Structure 1
Amino acid sequence: RWDDLCLPQATAGPVRWWPCRGGHTEGWQIVAQKKVTRPLLLKFGRNAGKSTITVIAEDISGNNGYVELSFRARKLDDKDLFSKSDPFLELFRVNDDQGLQLVYRTEVVKNNLNPVWEPFKVSLSSLCSCEETRPLKCLVWDYDSRGKHDFIGEFTTTFEEMQKAFREGQAQWDCVNPKYKQKRRSYKNSGAVVLADLKKFHRVYSFLDYIMGGCQIHFTVAIDFTASNGDPRNSCSLHYINPYQPNEYLKALVSVGEICQDYDSDKRFSALGFGARIPPKYEVSHDFAINFNPEDDECEGIQGVVEAYQNCLPRVQLYGPTNVAPIISKVARVAAAEERTGEASQYYILLILTDGVVTDMADTREAIVRASRLPMSIIIVGVGNADFTDMQVLDGDDGVLRSPRGEPALRDIVQFVPFRELKNASPAALAKCVLAEVPKQVVEYYSHRGLAPRGLDVPAGEASAGCTP
């Protein structure tokens, strides 16, 4: 993003340098040349092999609208020998230099020559740089698990043409394989792609719009009290209380919590624990209030959470297993009650501090998928040096998270932060990492629900909320 790269330089006066892995250029060069390619450099100025970075500058008008598109196809070519094709569609924007920029890739529809792909939303700036006559190219492929997808066909259109054809009920394009067309006189197409639905929305609300409209962010802190953290009486334990310096949990709690505190409207945190035997019966609990007041589990600010944690630790027995699903479900029940109000007024963020492997991974995935439909996000902070591979799976950055039953998450609501890599970072760097996805997640939720910020008038017939891809 241009504003991420050059925001500090977007002021009057000389344009300053911005670093790129040791390489550099000037902001005005990018704007003037439209496209700048520079080699990536290692330390001491050595080239990083043949790697390069290319920055493309585009002048985008003030259009912050977005569209929802839904495609299907019929009578596609069969590319598989013993079954039918597994088609997916790619939509590209044609840039000024005639290069292709991927806008969206659909899911794969297995064993089907007449696929119906899920609807998707995309901003007009991403789709066509807000130029409705800019060419768009659609390619249809037969999926191959080894990555060698078979090309079925393609067509070129524009967003302007899409709208006109859809209004006239003729939004259908021949899916053409140029090689077949060149070789066979009788060749017509390899099927057809139909624009099944098109919805154009004119207003995209920002995270700030919702906050200014009175949306309140509520944080819940959940702390891992399982035995894998080590005996708190042992100095090697992640829960060891040293009178002279904070343990790993306190470091993470204070560093991350103080950042989150600035987002919380009333500075009161629900503080929960999981994986310990608790008084009076010392039965294992996976969602207990660390102040031992189940009627009011809130603490005043992060300092209140710290005090509750320090008072709680000597009273519980660290046990297990590391079950996270009950905590997620508990917060989700509160978020579900808010969802029923039909207003953009309350959003819930669960901050989980844990030392490693989740035991109830299947139940956790199920709970996250259900929570993805609620006004809720989850930040998982990994404490210590354990293997956090499972946490990376829950963070849906590498693909859509699915429940054990195969149901996909509606939104990516999980952000994983390995604290060991950030505990020496500046507050600004830590804040950027911890809260990087929260504004987008908030806007995506209210966009999906069609809820505008409170207090804003929405013109009749216009979508009340939007999102950026």
Structure 2
Amino acid sequence: MLLCANKLDKKDFFGKSDPFLVFYRSNEDSTFTICHKTEVVKNTLNPVWQPFSIPVRALYHGDYDRTVKTDVYDWDRNGSHDFTGEFTTSYRELSKAQNQFTVNEVTLLSFSVDSEFTFVDYIKGGTQLNFTVAIDFTASNGNPLQSISLHYMSPYQLSAYAMALKAVGEIIQDYDSDKLFPAYGFGAKLPPEGRISHQFPLNNNDEDPNCAGIEGVLESYFQSLHTVQLYGPTYFAPVINQVARAAAKISDGSQYYVLLIIADGVISDMTQTKEAIVSTSSLPMSIIIVGVGPAKFEAMEELDGDDMRVSSGGCYAERDIVQFVPFRDYVDQLGNQVLSMARLTKDELAEIPEQLLSCMRTRDIQPRPPPPVNHSPTPAPEQP
């Protein structure tokens, strides 16, 4: 809204008035709740206030005919502001007027309503989350056959890698209709010739790296531990660029890509990884990094752009697309694995909704209308 006033009553003995507006929502019990105050415009009887925004629900609670009261005050330094006048209106009246709506001495110069869509609006409209997994198979994780390894497959408990994968995967798979997830490993020597790979399909199928559901990813992960040799170094960029190539093909908001990287420490291609994140930041894609083990995770924390946006070659990421969480912060000392994994899942996925929304806003993509609900009754079976 943009409002002005003309020839307000002069309340100050010396000089002119310092007017401001106070907006109130009417309540069911006939009381009023303050919803917004404008700035004070000094020394004038003809103020023009700065444009401002108020959430529709804050004023109207869904009732477009609900009374909105606006008081006009003359500001005083001692806090005993002088009441100048008041007027009442409603959202419906304002929206019909659009502009040049005058009540007493106050004129509405312009009025517009912007819709702010939610993550759920896009999901209901058909936006699919495409979930890709990348797991660290470097030798620094330790021999998977030994209990000190981060990949150790205990008969009694999942490894840190498997728990992190299961925690986020079981939630995010509900937003993916086909539940087919590309899953890769990096930093291993592959049989039979011992070629080092930084992006190999866990299911050993180069043509189709998809695994059926999170259980299929886990099964392929466990199988890979028996067939590949843990080696190194730790490269993130190849798998980021792999997912980015798929995300670059989507421009209509129908799909959003989420890459989960689980690794144990130092990133060997930090420069290339930063470059990949910066170039990917304009695409419909987010990256979740889970650090496992006791190592320091300075490099992974640097990629999480909460405090400072990731940059490469003088260019900054268009938006923050990386969320980093250290797995050790979620190991419950009392052994309550269910609660620990629930907290891990919450923090892993915490930034995905806003990252998706920022991508859609940047591209000016609105959610599609939800498909109509079919309320037709199920036909009765034919009688024999």
TM range (shorter): 0.5 to 0.7
Going from structure 1 to structure 2, the CA distance change for 1:124 and 1:417 (only over 3 Å counts) comes to farther
After TM superposition, where is structure 1 displaced by more than 6 Å over at least 4 residues in a row? Answer: 93-96
Going from structure 1 to structure 2, the CA distance change for 1:369 and 1:246 (only over 3 Å counts) comes to same
Alignment of 1:162-311 (within 5 A): 202-311=114-223
Structure 2's unaligned 5+ residue stretches are 1-32, 41-51, 60-67, 73-111, 333-338, 371-384
- Could you tell me how far apart the structure 1 residues matched to 2:247 and 2:309 are? 22
* Equivalences, count: 274
Structure 2 counterpart of 1:364: 273
Q: Which amino acid aligns with 2:366?
A: A
Structure 1's unaligned 5+ residue stretches are 1-57, 62-92, 97-122, 135-199, 457-469
Say whether the 8 Å CA contact 1:355–1:383 is kept in structure 2: yes
Structure 2 counterpart of 1:415: 323
Say whether the 8 Å CA contact 1:276–1:317 is kept in structure 2: yes
Going from structure 1 to structure 2, the CA distance change for 1:311 and 1:413 (only over 3 Å counts) comes to same
Secondary structure (helix, strand or coil) at the match of 2:354 reads: helix
Shift of 1:234: 2.0
TM-score by length of 2: 0.66
Structure 1 counterpart of 2:26: none
Going from structure 1 to structure 2, the CA distance change for 1:264 and 1:59 (only over 3 Å counts) comes to farther
Cα deviation per residue 1:183-228 (whole Å; 9 max; x = unaligned)?
Answer: xxxxxxxxxxxxxxxxx87122111111111100010010000111
Say whether the 8 Å CA contact 2:179–2:213 is kept in structure 1: yes
Secondary structure (helix, strand or coil) at the match of 1:396 reads: coil
Aligned: 1:445 with 2:334: no
Structure 2 counterpart of 1:397: 306
Say whether the 8 Å CA contact 2:133–2:184 is kept in structure 1: yes
Say whether the 8 Å CA contact 2:136–2:234 is kept in structure 1: yes
| Higher deviation after alignment, 307-316 or 261-270 | 261-270
Going from structure 1 to structure 2, the CA distance change for 1:237 and 1:449 (only over 3 Å counts) comes to same
Computing the radius of gyration from Cα coordinates, the structure with the larger value is 2
TM-score by length of 1: 0.54
Aligned: 1:455 with 2:369: yes
Cα deviation per residue 1:399-445 (whole Å; 9 max; x = unaligned)?
Answer: 11111x01011110000011111243445433321111100011110
Cα deviation per residue 1:268-305 (whole Å; 9 max; x = unaligned)?
Answer: 21111111111232211111101010111111111111
Shift of 1:125: 5.1
Going from structure 1 to structure 2, the CA distance change for 1:427 and 1:319 (only over 3 Å counts) comes to closer
Going from structure 1 to structure 2, the CA distance change for 1:426 and 1:95 (only over 3 Å counts) comes to farther
- Aligned-pair RMSD on alpha carbons? 3.0
- Could you tell me how far apart the structure 2 residues matched to 1:230 and 1:415 are? 26
- Could you tell me how far apart the structure 2 residues matched to 1:328 and 1:355 are? 17
Shift of 1:94: 7.8
- The structure 2 residue matched to 1:352, chosen from 238, 261, 268, is 261
Structure 2 counterpart of 1:179: none
Shift of 1:386: 0.9
- Could you tell me how far apart the structure 2 residues matched to 1:286 and 1:276 are? 7
Structure 2 counterpart of 1:88: none
Aligned: 1:374 with 2:288: no
- Could you tell me how far apart the structure 1 residues matched to 2:245 and 2:365 are? 20
Structure 1 counterpart of 2:85: none
Say whether the 8 Å CA contact 2:330–2:341 is kept in structure 1: no
Going from structure 1 to structure 2, the CA distance change for 1:244 and 1:396 (only over 3 Å counts) comes to same
Say whether the 8 Å CA contact 1:218–1:265 is kept in structure 2: no
Going from structure 1 to structure 2, the CA distance change for 1:321 and 1:125 (only over 3 Å counts) comes to farther
